Amino acid sequence: MKIYLFRHAQKAMDFSGDPDLTAEGHAQASKVLDKVLKNELPRPTELWVSPKKRTHSTFRPLSQHFNLPLQINTSLLEQQSDEKLTDFRSRIEKLFESAAEHKDAVIFLCSHYDLVVEAMTVVPSDKDLSDSEFSHWSPCQYIGFDVNKDGIYEFIEFKKVLL
């Protein structure tokens, strides 16, 4: 099985608490679909998103093209103001354990900056994800893993979606 974790595409600046994407963000979302169609990324079988608009908009082109539902998962939300770091990391661990149970799936997860950075501290990977290379994520950047039978996340790639 494969798991790809994405930071959402570029978000608009507004004070609603739930902004959508900018025009560039929508272009990045379309580029994700292009990468799948060009076999630069595998075809997803599941699309998991946080409840926020920007994650939905990031995967909407994939959802529409492949007729896949956006599966809302509150575990993909940012760290909550009343959530301790240990609890946040535990939530992320459980999220990845849950995803790994989908044995033949190709799951694309779309989340937020703080979650993807913290995920690098808890994903049981064959690569040292604590390296500074993985400490900053641009909008629409992603990391991919093959999950082996022992539950080890074998690193595939870490890339930015460039326009």
Residue 16: CATH number of its domain: 3.40.50.1240
In this predicted structure, the answer to whether residue 15 has a pLDDT above a threshold of 90 is no
Structural domains counted in the chain: 1
In the predicted model, what is the mean pLDDT of residues 19-34?
96
77 contacts 51 by C-beta, under 8 angstroms: yes
Whole-number average pLDDT of the chain: 95
**What stretch of H or E contains 92?**
helix 85-100
Domain that holds residue 128: 2-160
Which pLDDT does position 14 carry in this prediction?
84
Of the ranges 90-94, 118-122, 142-146, 159-163, which one carries the lowest mean pLDDT score? 159-163
The model's confidence at residue 128, banded by pLDDT at 50, 70 and 90, is very high
In the predicted model, what is the mean pLDDT of residues 31-43?
98
